[in-house]
Amino acid sequence: MKSTNSNIIIIAIAALGAGAISFFPVSPAFAFAFGAVITGFTLLTINKAPTKASTTASVDDTQTTDQASTTLYVGNLPYRANESDVKDLFAEFGDVFAVRLMKDKRTGKRRGFGFVVVASKDADNVIENLNNNEFDQRTLKVRIANDPKTSGNPNIEED
């Protein structure tokens, strides 16, 4: 959107400049150089002016980064579940910042697991409410992503 606005402004300045220069007997080389300088100043001014969207985004980013987050592993997801389905499910139990569902590189199909970034204060509540609970006829496995699955013997899986 910003580049479209820039292009419209540049075209308008070029048209006005061409009209204004046509009234004066000036060489084409001078007219071209003058137009290039005016366009350069216009682009610098446009690029430095903050837009409402960029200001809002920076405020939202600050709020997100100020709050501590925890990444949760989510396994045994239904293959047809998408990011918004998972985000809606997890949002019932805490603040959700991001959802990444893993896909097979060759086929592009979902692999049935992913990662959800939640507020650290909500992580235990999310795990307690969603781990070993059914979602779309599948029993979810939810735990902190960096938690080892085994305690003690690395050859034995615990559930």
31-88 pLDDT, tens digit per residue, is: 777 777 777 777 777 666 555 444 333 344 444 445 789 999 999 999 999 999 999 9
Mean pLDDT of 105-134: 93
Position 149 scores a pLDDT of 61
Q: Supply the mean pLDDT for the chain.
A: 78
Q: pTM for this structure? A: 0.52
Q: CB neighbours (10 Å) of residue 112? A: 15
What DSSP line would sit under 93-143, residue for residue?
TS-EEEEEEEE-TTT--EEEEEEEEEEHHHHHHHHHHHTT-EETTEE-EEE
Mean pLDDT of 99-112: 91
Residue 91 has pLDDT above 80, yes or no: yes
Mean pLDDT of 131-158: 75
Q: For 121-148, give one letter per residue: b (16+ CB within 10 A) or e.
A: ebbeebbeebbeeebeeeebbbeeeeee
φ/ψ of 97, rounded to 5, equals -100, -35
Note whether 98 and 90 are within 8 A (CB).
no
Q: Which two tokens stand for residue 52?
A: 């409402």
Residue 94 has pLDDT above 50, yes or no: yes
Distance CA 44, CA 36 (A): 12
Distance CA 122, CA 84 (A): 19
Residue 135 has pLDDT above 60, yes or no: yes
